[in-house]
Amino acid sequence: MAINSSNSNYVNISNLPQTQLAVGGDLLVLQTEGGTQTIDFGNLNVVRTDASGNATVVGEMTGTNAFFNNVAGSTSISAVNFSSQGARGFNAVSNFYNRFTVNGGLVTSATYVSNGSPDYRSITGTMLPNLTAWLTTIYKIYLDTIGTVTLAPGQASFNSSLNTSPYINIGASDFQNAHFNVTTNQRISSTPWVENFVWTSNVLRFDVHLGYAAPAGGVNLQWRCLYPVKSDQVPF
């Protein structure tokens, strides 16, 4: 330290020792309107950082724009609007949505698509057909058809037919005499039956037998066919 010509103490600040961090209790020299004064660093109204550059703000922080690489909140983060990658978050009303656009973890659009959506195609193209195929193995479907024949006097049989076109993969070999029940409201002396199955172009033809020649006045017979349709014979 030296005495200069103005008779004041002269100190070169570069010759003073340096501290690595300013903390509360340290004094700073300020030139104020009231003169040269000191201020405790704890009362200095600036954002303080530690040696690693970390800063802590006690109280509220207000500003116009802020840019951070990462933001985390221990309690909550709130705003009127949120945006991600230039897209604003979607304000959803009470509705059903099945198609979403997500940017950086933020839903930026939500719509509802019915026909053509993946879940629609899965339900109509896979689930329902599989369910229908499974149900046909559980629940049996019967072809139930009734027909009548009239045997003239002296006639012992009559050729009749039924249409099987509502079903597929059915042939004459599928039908048996047990699938038919033949009845009449007249008094007869035999049990009528059905035989000689011939199937052509979805039409099954067969003979209804009385068992003897019909007497005078003829005989009216009614036949009923109950055929259990297999799963591969149902057209759906």
Where are the chain's structural domains? 1-82, 141-233
Which stretches of the chain score pLDDT less than 50? 1
- Residue 139: the pLDDT is 65
3-class state of residue 23 by DSSP: coil
Nearest to 217 by CA among 147, 155, 146: 155
pLDDT tens digits for range 139-197:
677 889 999 999 999 999 999 999 988 888 888 898 999 999 999 999 999 999 999 99
Amino acid code (one letter) for 36: T
- Residue 224: the pLDDT is 97
Is 211:157 a contact under the CB 8 Å cutoff?
Answer: no
Nearest to 209 by CA among 228, 226, 188: 188
**The two structure tokens encoding residue 196:** 């000689």
Nearest to 152 by CA among 221, 223, 207, 225: 221
pTM (whole model) above 0.85: no
**The two structure tokens encoding residue 95:** 């509705």
d(CA 26, CA 18): 13
